[in-house]
Structure 1
Amino acid sequence: MHFLIIGIWAEARLRKVTFDPTGFDDADRTVIWGIGSQENRWKKCVELAFRRHHAIPADLNMKSAAIPQDDYTRYKHITRLLTEKLAPVITSRNRIAHGQWVHQLKSRSEDQWISSSALEVPNYCGLKARNEVLNQIGEIIGILVVSKPTFDRDYKSILEKLNSSEKDLDGKNQENFVRSLRKSSLRPSGG
């Protein structure tokens, strides 16, 4: 169930980012919400923010745009984070919400079902780390949308927190967590 909540949070955070009054205008929101998938909506937010901050016209390819190399590297890194970290959460959320534990609908345009592996559900520590990673991705994109100077200032520190949280995605520290819970429940209460 926690996995579902993390996926729902990702959707809510996207709404928060797109409807921030200091961020996108109505035309940008129409473009973003005209896109079918959550992952691609997030990516469009990132693209539109970079385009706005660097005055890149919509018809110019981001690769060939006159954008400083450091900013282009950040752009590519954030879109890769969305693909690697956010997309699996969205997919899992959809599978849970639509009861697709054994069979998953291939796409909306095809009336076929495909067998898929069992839904991988991380332990509590893995879920907590995944939530922290998504919080940091949401924070970095939210700041990017609202303020380029703040984004430039905070990018490195948020990225460091994100990298630290990523180390726990495998949930290997679950045993230590359980032991600490057991120890804390064995202590006599002081009252």
Structure 2
Amino acid sequence: MICPLHAWGDESIRSHGLDAPAYLLGASIVDTDDVPATRDTLEALRPTHGKLHWHDLNPRERQRVVSVIGKLEAFHLVVVASPIDHRREERARALCLERLAWELASHDVTALTLEARSRRLMDRDLRTVRALRGRFVVPSSLRIQHGDPKAEPMLWLPDQVLGAFGRARAERREIDAAIRGSLDTFDVEP
């Protein structure tokens, strides 16, 4: 029997170190059977309080986290929209979400949990998904919802991958070898 696949997603906006600002939307895919062990691993990486967040870590902690993530049974997707106009970030997000959802569906993912945003912005995401379903871009078999990163450590995983990816892109180098083999990236034009 094939295990259902679940993905957890996060976003990042990157401008420092890049020629043009970029909107990044990423997802980490994990077999449902592997979720408890992955969640435990992420919990063990968490600082003493709060959530595991890339921007809160020092360089040594980031390297340790990337090394541990590289050993997880997970596959990561990152969609990049660049250049973006900061006044049109939601358009970039919608384009990234379209490509990400299509890629997730092609990997037979059955659920995507995106990091929660304001109610208005989460409603916007869901309207985007409904429109994509109407265009047959996203199958009805892919459930898309939002989750609280304070309550769901799995949402920390794409945050860490996006942080490592964004840092590598800003430094004009390849992403760390620990996660390079489990990462696919895609560019969309905003």
TM (normalized to structure 2)? 0.31
Which protein, 1 or 2, shows the higher relative CO under an 8 Å CA cutoff with sep ≥ 6? 2
Larger radius of gyration: 1
The structure with the largest strand share of the pair is: 2
The structure with the largest helix share of the pair is: 1
TM (normalized to structure 1)? 0.31
